[in-house]
Amino acid sequence: MTIRPHLLIVFVLAAASSSVALANDTLWALLEKGGQVVLIRHGLTTPGVGDPAGFKPGDCATQRNLVADGRRQAERLGAALRAHKVPVARVLSSPWCRCLETARIAFGTEPAIDDALSNLFDNSPNRERQVAAFRKLVASAPRQGNLMLVTHGSTTAAFTGINQGTAEMVVVTPEGGERYRVAGRLAVQ
């Protein structure tokens, strides 16, 4: 019996989809238990890379901000976290407006600002200091609930080596002290 190539492709895609769903279920269960650190990239912004020349983190008019699709991503993120009954202990955010707005929409609360979550795009002198500060955040992760960190893709990449999509979560499991492992990533549709 010969397997047709297009049927093989369908089988492989179905198997991959099934394993992603299983991985997602495992991550949601981990989040429901609490004790995790979750890195969330801000929602979709105005087109471009980095911020315009002369931007100031505290002045939203000088930087790239969320667009309507980015706000909807933040809404879906918050809805998914609530639907899965994910307990939230604390919400911290980068001082950039796009991160603050993502956090406010997703969690319905004013996040605390933490400079360790600042954008590392084109800001490499701060990389080592911020990675060290992130390790301290991991060490202080709550046992009850999860520590939610709203940040930038470049910052998550510096902490974990993962280039995440907008409004995507990277789940990090503390392993004692300042050690951690990446449990996985979740993208909310």
- Give the DSSP per-residue string, 150-188: EE-HHHHHHHHS--PPTT-EEEEEE-STT-EEEEEEE--
Per-residue pLDDT 10s for the chain (189 aa) are 555 554 444 343 333 333 344 469 999 999 999 999 999 999 999 887 777 888 887 899 999 999 999 999 999 999 999 999 999 999 999 999 999 999 999 999 999 999 999 988 776 777 888 888 988 988 888 989 999 999 999 899 999 999 999 999 999 999 998 899 999 999 987
3 φ, ψ to 5°?
Answer: -90, 125
CA distance 94 to 155: 10
Element (H, E) at 83: helix 68-83
CATH node for 34-43+55-186:
3.40.50.1240
